[in-house]
């Protein structure tokens, strides 16, 4: 049953009213190693569809300046006439576009945003989930077991279109993947949905980032694949996920383990855990008999580290207790922006990194006592925190 749900959730979900008031976002994350320097980076590739029925033939970005008066009114402003006092320079519109966002989860590198009109988005073929193509570049494709494509953003593009909210650069990729650990759809409402399609996803292939080749090995890709769709982003936005567990009890790498935490969903988060074949799931819409606390706070690190963010999650029911603590230096984090489908110059701003480290603890309740089942060091954790903000008008 779970496999059928995952297959359905992979497809474009913008139907009915969501076609004019909604978004769908596929997100893939993998680690890769430079074939030149040996440096490891955490790459992300995201496919983001927004209000496709509003303007299928043309990309509409709500952050683009648009004058809402006639040419004559504009001339009055330039001339400094009395009419100019009542002149409102801009009007705000609901966005409509398909975007591919790709880059590295690191402050020192970049995120490229490539935009497409919604009508060129193809999502009805059996051989892939979604596809879009620019004239001079290969098609960007996401299928059930591979993704490939290329994007390019120049400095000239950004000068002409500051509303693109990204940076310049190039990235191409050709990746196969298999999902060794998945979860069924988690939080599902008419407003927001989340599906972990591959909590542990093994990627292989190559990524060319700003003309440098990176190799992706399935054994150490520590990949992740999820999907969000609905009317707008949840805010505040809270996310943690990792499949890089090293047991402090046995000393071995726990290859069949993963956790994913996401919210906020009506002041709650969902916590999905799989430990060596055993799934333990705490769903945000089913937490009546469970207790959960979570937080993300800034703290001081060492002089060399500087400021850190600390994500903490503690959840328990009548059988289990799970504690997660993740830390990340703010200097290692990047800021990713997503224009909200609601328009009005609202933007989801997400501070993110793929280099979080910390601890995972799993206990089993034994009457009034707790039995420690697993305690593990966590590394290469995707850690994110964000909020919907309104830009200055």
Q: Kindly report, residue by residue over 92-107, the tens digit of the pLDDT.
A: 788 999 999 999 997 6
Instruction: Tell me: pLDDT of 82 over 80.
Output: no
User: Do 23 and 388 contact (CB within 8 A), yes or no?
Assistant: no
| More confident of the two residues 201 and 289 | 201
Instruction: Tell me: pLDDT of 67 over 60.
Output: no
Please tell me the least confidently modeled range out of 109-113, 270-274, 306-310, 351-355. 109-113
For the chain, the average pLDDT equals 88
What's the DSSP call for residue 60?
B
**DSSP secondary structure of 94-159:** --BEEEEEEEESSTTS-EEEEEE-GGG-B---TT-SEEE--TTSPPEEE-SSEEEEEEEE-HHHHH
Instruction: Tell me: pLDDT of 287 over 80.
Output: no
| pTM attached to this predicted model | 0.90
In whole angstroms, what is the distance from residue 240 CA to residue 269 CA? 11
String of b and e for 338-361 (b: at least 16 CB within 10 Å)? Answer: bbbbbbebbbbbbbbbbbbbbebb
Instruction: Tell me: pLDDT of 391 over 70.
Output: no
Q: Kindly report, residue by residue over 207-246, the tens digit of the pLDDT.
A: 999 999 999 999 999 999 999 999 999 999 999 999 999 9
The mean per-residue pLDDT over the stretch 184-204 comes to: 88
Instruction: Tell me: pLDDT of 77 over 70.
Output: no
pLDDT at 159: 92
At residue 129 the predicted structure's pLDDT band, cuts being 50, 70 and 90, is very high
At residue 253 the predicted structure's pLDDT band, cuts being 50, 70 and 90, is very high
| More confident of the two residues 305 and 324 | 324
Q: Tokens 């000393």 correspond to what residue?
A: 251
User: Do 66 and 90 contact (CB within 8 A), yes or no?
Assistant: yes
The mean per-residue pLDDT over the stretch 121-127 comes to: 84
């Amino acid at each position: 049953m779970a496999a059928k749900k995952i297959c359905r959730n992979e497809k474009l979900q913008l139907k009915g009213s969501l076609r004019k008031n909604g978004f769908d976002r596929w997100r893939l994350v993998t680690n890769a190693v430079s074939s030149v320097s040996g440096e490891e980076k955490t790459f992300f590739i995201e496919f983001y569809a927004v209000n496709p029925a509003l303007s299928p033939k043309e990309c509409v970005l709500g952050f683009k300046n648009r004058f809402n008066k006639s040419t004559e009114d504009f001339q009055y402003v330039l001339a400094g006439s009395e009419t100019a006092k009542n002149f409102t320079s801009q009007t705000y519109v609901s966005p409509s576009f398909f975007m591919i966002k790709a880059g590295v989860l690191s402050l020192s590198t970049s995120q490229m945003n490539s935009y497409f009109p919604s009508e060129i988005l193809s999502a009805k073929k059996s051989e892939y989930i979604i596809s879009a193509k620019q004239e001079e570049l290969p098609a960007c494709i996401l299928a059930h077991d591979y993704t490939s494509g290329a994007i390019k953003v120049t400095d000239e593009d950004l000068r002409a279109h500051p509303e693109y909210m990204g940076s310049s650069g190039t990235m191409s990729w050709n990746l196969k993947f298999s999902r060794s650990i998945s979860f069924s759809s988690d939080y599902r409402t008419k407003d927001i949905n989340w599906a972990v399609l591959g909590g542990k996803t093994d990627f292989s292939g190559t990524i060319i980032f700003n003309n440098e080749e990176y190799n992706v090995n399935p054994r150490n890709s520590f990949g992740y694949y999820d999907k969000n769709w609905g009317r707008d982003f949840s805010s505040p936005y809270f996310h943690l996920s990792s499949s890089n567990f090293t047991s402090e009890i046995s000393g071995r790498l726990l290859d069949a383990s993963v956790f994913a935490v996401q919210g906020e969903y009506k002041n709650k988060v969902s916590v999905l855990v799989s430990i060596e074949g055993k799934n333990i799931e705490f769903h945000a819409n089913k937490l009546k008999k469970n207790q959960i606390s979570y937080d993300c706070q800034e703290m001081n690190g060492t002089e060399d580290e500087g400021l850190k963010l600390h994500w903490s999650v503690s959840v328990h029911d009548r059988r289990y207790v799970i504690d997660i603590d993740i830390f990340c230096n703010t200097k290692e984090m990047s800021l990713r922006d997503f224009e909200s489908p609601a328009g009005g110059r609202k933007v989801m701003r997400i501070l993110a990194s793929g280099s979080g480290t910390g601890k995972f603890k799993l206990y089993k309740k034994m009457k009034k006592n707790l039995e420690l089942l697993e305690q593990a060091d966590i590394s290469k954790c995707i850690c994110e925190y964000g909020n919907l903000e309104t830009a200055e008008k």
